[in-house]
């Protein structure tokens, strides 16, 4: 093998260049005679064409002599006599002229030693010059044939060892920068040597390369200070390569690789050390292992891999091992597998270049024929996916999108390990978190996948049929996360803003792909019949419709309830835990879904106080739809019949909704209250029902007919539950205080109100024990009922009068008119002892003369005059009079 492919100038070209300097006469006065003669010979040698080996050796000695002279000068430089680059180029040519098939002279040896001397004088070699010399020396030494025993075997061996030593001396000299080694230059030298090790099939070339690497690293260990150590990035590649050759069956290769590996460990420990005492202990342990077995070296390699390599260098170790597995000309499968298994046996440390590793696995996995090695590479991909899920997923999609449709081979690997599969799904689930405002687009840092990519990855993993148990575990969280993502895309228009974001390819529609992931999730969990059921009722199409999306959410949840989904309780727990942190769209989706789930008795059974408090907090929402959904939840609680405690906690919030500024919420609240009254018993909910009767009083004069009718209907339903023995304060007070109101609303313009009022009156009569009045309430008209009420309950006349006065403000003229008439009737029946208590009624009656309705105004005036006339009559026939002068006496 000969990686050295540079083109080289002929000796004629070198001679032509030297002629330019022949006319330049440097100052030789400071040189000794021998040094002047050396100068003169160099000058002559540069002008010659063909030269003998003897002349070459004499030239090299002359350069060595002149270099020593320059070195002895305080500020001397070789350029004062000859351009140093010219001399180096000539020496390089001499090395390259030596045959690589045989070693018959010591020219190349002396040439390399001459470079050592020349490197110690100014000016320093350029990097390119150094690399040319390194390439030349390595190519003419490593390529030499194996030394075969012969008659002159000892001489040949001695010459070879001297030449090899000269090469090492030259390499050591070239990596130096002043008094310290330059690690950038060392890396360049190692990168020239490594191909001789990894690409060559000749044992002697591999052995020489390993020996040279080991000796260079041993040389570096002697220096406490290394220049540009932070730029020395070949440690991982070198460690991986030497580690592989430590397990080579050839003893010489194995020993030299072990030696190089241990010196590399020492360099890393010394240069990247922590505490001094700990460093000394580690070095002692490494020294003990110097001639240990390969397993011991592998343990040291694992330690250095974890403690002393950078993430990028660790990636290089992994790549070297995998490349060895796929290399057709090498049999390192077993060694590479052992290295990878050992370094990744426990927790995975930080690793760089993840996309490069994943790409290599994607393209080369199935070219590995050895089963154990292939399994090891699969394990590498799986470990990376668990630790660097985002980068692995993104890279896999890049590869997959460039491949023909149907290429899914890596996903099966990710699904092959139950624990790893679950870890990856859990990570993807985090990327689907509903707490972001723009889940389709935002990413927290470089390489983080969006929710859309997470959805696509989940879909790919769910298509693997072998992991049903793990999917069962995560099903509640996954179904809600995918549903929230669908709501974001459909309702908020997130789909329109995606458009091929983060490799979401053109042929993938974000909404439909998310819905497909939902379907696949349910099918892979064993709910295929649920998917068909939803399809039958058009639920999947509704989910993708912006106008009817929530109908689709309802159908999805209803299918889980009606088909007795085993996960209903866990899903409900997930929804409750998410409710407090959701944005508007997802919050509504969660409420719609939860409202349906609560129809399931098993779900309702796990509603605890914490859940109720979370629901109660939702009543403070500014979104009317959310409040109405929560009201429906309360209705569902009532229908279950065994959720008294939960209802008691929520009832105050329901009553507050009666006074909402949003008319739709008030209407919904009354519908829910009707359901509550229907399903609640007096024994369990008497406190709430009593409170509700007082709340309903605010709506008996409501202008909205449907609210007024509902209020009276609910009131009548409550009274139907009350028993006479339960009629205590404050309910008894309320019952009596609304008698006149109910009677007068028999004149309500809404006939349903009148019907509800008559029912309520009959219930009141039963509660109060008014059996005779009950028949009147049930059959007679309002006027008859008022007369009968005043006749049978004369002792409550003043109470009835106050009720009449309160109805003077009724928005309905017939009710105001009836109230005025009944007030007049009551006042006329009062005794003089009670006259002093009706001042407020007189004042109100006086003001009713200005009622906007002519009939009411006229009746009020007539009633007032009749009352006044009666009082005047009483004044003339009785000796006493009222002590107070009434305001209306001044009006006439």
Q: What are the pLDDT digits (tens) for 322-341?
A: 999 887 656 678 888 888 98
The answer on pLDDT for 723 being more than 60 is yes
Alpha helices in 563-608 (DSSP H): 568-579, 584-597, 601-604
Q: Is 466 helix (H, G, I), strand (E, B) or coil?
A: coil
Among left, alpha and beta (phi > 0; psi -120 to 50; other), residue 769 is left
Own/partner long-range contacts of 757-766 (Cβ < 8 Å, ≥24 apart): 757/712, 757/716, 759/716, 759/720, 760/712, 760/715, 760/716, 760/719, 761/785, 763/716, 763/719, 763/720, 763/722, 764/719, 764/735, 764/739, 766/724
Q: How many CB atoms lie within 10 A of CB 580?
A: 10
- CA 826 – CA 741 distance, rounded (Å): 15
Q: What is the DSSP string of 41-106?
A: HHHHHHH-SS--HHHHHHHHHHHHHHHHHHHHSTT-BGGGTS-HHHHHHHHHHHHHHS-SS----S
Q: Where in the chain is the domain with CATH 1.25.10?
A: 802-892
The answer on pLDDT for 496 being more than 60 is no
Q: Which of 370-384, 598-612, 642-656, 860-874 has the lowest mean pLDDT?
A: 860-874
Q: Which of 408-417, 501-510, 753-762, 879-888 has the lowest mean pLDDT?
A: 879-888
At 882 the pLDDT is: 44
- CA 599 – CA 527 distance, rounded (Å): 19
The answer on pLDDT for 156 being more than 50 is yes
The answer on pLDDT for 221 being more than 60 is yes
Average pLDDT of the segment spanning 610-630: 92
Query: Which residues make beta-bridge pairs with 66?
Result: none
- CA 560 – CA 596 distance, rounded (Å): 9
Could you give the dihedral angle defined by the CA atoms of residues 618, 623, 627 and 628, in that order, rounded to the nearest 10 degrees? -160
Residue 366, C-beta contacts closer than 8 angstroms, at least 6 positions apart: 374, 409
Could you give the dihedral angle defined by the CA atoms of residues 594, 600, 602 and 603, in that order, rounded to the nearest 10 degrees? 10
Q: What are the pLDDT digits (tens) for 178-219?
A: 999 999 999 999 999 999 999 998 999 999 999 999 999 999
Average pLDDT of the segment spanning 349-359: 93
CA-nearest of 509, 568, 518, 570 to 539 is: 518
Q: Is the pTM of this model over 0.75?
A: yes
- CA 778 – CA 169 distance, rounded (Å): 124
The pLDDT confidence band at residue 736, using thresholds 50, 70 and 90, is: confident
Q: Residue 250 phi/psi, 5° resolution?
A: -75, 125
Average pLDDT of the segment spanning 731-755: 89
Write a three-state SS string for 139-197.
HHHCCCCCCCCCCCHHHHHHHHHHHHHHHHHHHHHHHEECCEEEHHHHHHHHHHHHHHH
Q: What is the DSSP-derived secondary structure letter of residue 448?
A: P
The answer on pLDDT for 445 being more than 70 is no
Average pLDDT of the segment spanning 343-355: 86
The pLDDT confidence band at residue 885, using thresholds 50, 70 and 90, is: very low
The pLDDT confidence band at residue 412, using thresholds 50, 70 and 90, is: confident
Percentage helix, strand, coil, to 5, in the chain? 75, 0, 25
Q: What is the DSSP string of 614-625?
A: HHHHHTT-S-HH
The answer on pLDDT for 766 being more than 70 is yes
At 287 the pLDDT is: 59
What topology does CATH give the domain 802-892?
1.25.10
Name the strand (E) or helix (H) holding 522. helix 510-524
Q: Which of 542-546, 772-776, 866-870 has the lowest mean pLDDT?
A: 866-870
Among left, alpha and beta (phi > 0; psi -120 to 50; other), residue 330 is beta
At 877 the pLDDT is: 57
Q: What are the pLDDT digits (tens) for 265-288?
A: 889 888 876 544 455 565 556 555
Residue 593, C-beta contacts closer than 8 angstroms, at least 6 positions apart: 480, 483, 553, 554, 556, 557, 571, 575
Q: How many CB atoms lie within 10 A of CB 411?
A: 18
The pLDDT confidence band at residue 641, using thresholds 50, 70 and 90, is: confident
Q: Which of 433-437, 455-459, 795-799 has the highest mean pLDDT?
A: 455-459
Q: What is the DSSP string of 657-725?
A: HTT-S-HHHHHHHHHHHHHHHHH--HHHHHHHHHHHHHHHGGGTT-SSHHHHHHHHHHHHHHHHH--GG
- CA 220 – CA 187 distance, rounded (Å): 12
At 275 the pLDDT is: 46
Q: What are the pLDDT digits (tens) for 813-831?
A: 999 899 889 888 888 777 7
The answer on pLDDT for 891 being more than 60 is no
Q: Residue 180 phi/psi, 5° resolution?
A: -125, 150
The answer on pLDDT for 635 being more than 50 is yes
Average pLDDT of the segment spanning 111-126: 95
Residue 208, C-beta contacts closer than 8 angstroms, at least 6 positions apart: 141, 142, 164, 196
The answer on pLDDT for 160 being more than 70 is yes
The distance from CA 396 to its chain's CA centroid, rounded to whole angstroms, is: 18
- CA 342 – CA 336 distance, rounded (Å): 10
| Signed CA dihedral, 471, 474, 476, 479: sign only | negative
Average pLDDT of the segment spanning 593-610: 94
Residue 539, C-beta contacts closer than 8 angstroms, at least 6 positions apart: 552, 555, 556, 559
- CA 680 – CA 689 distance, rounded (Å): 9
Average pLDDT of the chain? Answer: 85
Average pLDDT of the segment spanning 741-753: 91
At 887 the pLDDT is: 41
Q: Which of 6-20, 132-146, 805-819 has the lowest mean pLDDT?
A: 6-20
- CA 780 – CA 762 distance, rounded (Å): 12
Question: Which one is predicted more confidently, 431 or 20?
Answer: 431
- Longest CA span, the chain: 169
The pLDDT confidence band at residue 890, using thresholds 50, 70 and 90, is: very low
At 282 the pLDDT is: 58
The answer on pLDDT for 651 being more than 80 is yes
The pLDDT confidence band at residue 467, using thresholds 50, 70 and 90, is: low
Q: Which of 21-25, 264-268, 383-387 has the lowest mean pLDDT?
A: 21-25
CA-nearest of 333, 329, 353 to 341 is: 333
Question: Which one is predicted more confidently, 408 or 297?
Answer: 297
Contact yes or no for 401/504 (Cβ under 8 A): no
At 835 the pLDDT is: 58
Q: What are the pLDDT digits (tens) for 670-716?
A: 999 999 999 988 888 888 989 998 999 899 988 888 999 999 999 99
CA-nearest of 348, 246, 236 to 298 is: 246
At 594 the pLDDT is: 94
Query: Which residues make beta-bridge pairs with 77?
Result: 122
Question: Which one is predicted more confidently, 18 or 302?
Answer: 302
Give the rounded percent of residues in the chain with a pLDDT score beyond 70.
86
Average pLDDT of the segment spanning 544-557: 94
At 631 the pLDDT is: 94
């Amino acid at each position: 093998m000969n990686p050295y492919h540079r083109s080289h100038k002929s000796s004629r070209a070198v001679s032509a260049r030297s002629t330019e300097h022949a006319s330049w006469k440097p100052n030789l006065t400071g040189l000794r005679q021998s040094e002047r003669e050396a100068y003169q010979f160099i000058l002559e040698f540069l002008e010659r064409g063909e030269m003998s080996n003897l002349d070459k050796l004499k030239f090299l000695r002359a350069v060595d002599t002149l270099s020593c002279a320059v070195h002895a000068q305080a500020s001397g430089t070789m350029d004062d006599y000859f351009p140093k680059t010219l001399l180096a180029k000539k020496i390089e040519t001499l090395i390259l002229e030596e045959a690589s098939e045989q070693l018959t002279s010591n020219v190349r040896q002396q040439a390399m030693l001459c470079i050592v001397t020349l490197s110690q004088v100014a000016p320093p070699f350029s990097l390119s010059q150094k690399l040319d010399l390194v390439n030349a020396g390595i190519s003419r030494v490593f390529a030499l044939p194996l030394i075969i025993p012969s008659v002159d075997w000892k001489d040949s061996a001695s010459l070879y060892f001297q030449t090899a030593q000269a090469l090492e001396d030259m390499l050591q000299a070239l990596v130096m920068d002043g008094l310290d080694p330059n690690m950038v230059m060392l890396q360049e030298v190692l990168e020239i040597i490594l191909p001789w090790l990894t690409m060559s099939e000749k044992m002697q070339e591999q052995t020489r390369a390993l020996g040279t690497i080991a000796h260079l690293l041993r040389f570096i260990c002697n220096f406490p200070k290394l220049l540009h150590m932070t730029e020395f990035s070949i440690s991982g590649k070198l460690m991986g390569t030497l580690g592989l050759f430590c397990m080579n069956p050839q003893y010489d290769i194995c020993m030299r690789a072990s030696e190089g590996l241990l010196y590399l460990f020492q360099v890393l420990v010394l240069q990247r050390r922590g505490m001094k005492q700990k460093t000394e202990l580690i070095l002692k342990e490494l020294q003990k292992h110097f001639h240990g077995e390969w397993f011991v070296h592998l343990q040291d390699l694992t330690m250095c891999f974890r403690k002393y390599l950078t993430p990028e260098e660790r990636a290089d170790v992994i790549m070297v091992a995998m490349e060895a597995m796929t290399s057709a000309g090498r049999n390192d499968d077993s060694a590479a597998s052992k290295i990878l298994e050992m370094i990744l046996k426990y927790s995975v440390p930080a690793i760089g270049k993840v996309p490069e590793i994943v790409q290599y696995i994607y393209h080369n996995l199935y070219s590995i024929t050895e089963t154990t090695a292939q399994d090891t590479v699969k394990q590498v991909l799986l470990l990376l996916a668990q630790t660097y899920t985002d980068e692995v997923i993104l890279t896999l999609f890049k590869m997959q999108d460039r491949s023909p449709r149907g290429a899914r081979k890596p996903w099966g690997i990710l699904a092959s390990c139950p624990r790893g599969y679950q870890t990856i799904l859990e990570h993807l689930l985090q990327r689907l978190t509903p707490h972001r405002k723009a889940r389709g687009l935002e990413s927290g840092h470089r390489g983080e996948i969006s929710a859309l990519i997470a959805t696509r990855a989940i879909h790919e993993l769910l298509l693997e049929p072998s992991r049903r148990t793990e999917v069962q575990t995560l099903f509640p969280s996954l179904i809600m996360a995918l549903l929230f993502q669908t709501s974001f895309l459909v309702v908020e228009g997130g789909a329109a803003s995606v458009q091929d974001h983060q490799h979401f390819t053109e042929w993938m529609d974000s909404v439909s792909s998310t819905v497909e992931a939902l379907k696949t999730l349910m099918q892979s969990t064993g709910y295929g019949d649920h998917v068909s059921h939803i399809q039958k009722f058009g639920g999947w199409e509704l989910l993708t419709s912006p106008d009817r999306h929530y109908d689709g959410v309802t159908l999805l949840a209803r299918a889980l309830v009606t088909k007795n989904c085993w996960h209903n309780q866990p899903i409900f727990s997930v929804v409750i835990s998410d409710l407090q942190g959701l944005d508007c769209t997802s919050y509504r989706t969660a409420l719609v879904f939860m409202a349906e789930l609560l129809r399931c008795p098993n779900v309702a059974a796990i509603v605890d106080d914490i859940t109720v408090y979370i629901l109660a907090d939702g009543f403070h929402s500014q979104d009317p739809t959310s409040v109405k959904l929560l009201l429906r939840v309360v209705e569902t609680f009532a229908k279950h019949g065994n959720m008294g405690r939960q209802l008691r906690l929520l009832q105050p919030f329901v009553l507050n909704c009666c006074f909402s500024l949003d008319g739709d919420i008030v209407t919904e609240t009354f519908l829910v209250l009707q359901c509550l009254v229907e399903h609640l018993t007096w024994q369990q909910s008497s406190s709430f029902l009593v409170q509700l009767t007082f709340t309903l009083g605010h709506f008996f004069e409501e202008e909205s007919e449907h609210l007024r009718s509902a209020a009276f209907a609910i009131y009548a339903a409550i009274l139907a539950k009350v028993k006479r023995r339960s009629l205590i304060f404050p309910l008894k007070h309320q019952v009596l205080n609304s008698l006149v109101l109910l009677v007068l609303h028999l004149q309500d313009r809404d006939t349903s109100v009148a019907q509800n009022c008559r029912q309520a009156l009959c219930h009141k009569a039963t509660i109060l024990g008014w059996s005779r009045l009950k028949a009147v309430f049930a059959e007679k008209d309002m006027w008859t009922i008022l007369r009968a009420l005043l006749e049978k309950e004369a002792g409550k006349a003043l109470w009835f009068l106050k009720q009449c006065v309160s109805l003077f403000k009724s928005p309905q003229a017939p009710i105001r008119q009836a109230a005025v008439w009944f007030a007049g009737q009551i006042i006329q029946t009062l005794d003089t002892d009670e006259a002093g208590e009706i001042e407020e009624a007189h004042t109100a009656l006086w003001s009713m003369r200005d009622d906007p309705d002519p009939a009411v105004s006229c009746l009020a005036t007539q009633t007032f005059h009749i009352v006044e006339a009666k009082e005047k009559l009483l004044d003339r026939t009785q000796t006493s009079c009222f002590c107070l002068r009434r305001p209306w006496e001044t009006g006439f």
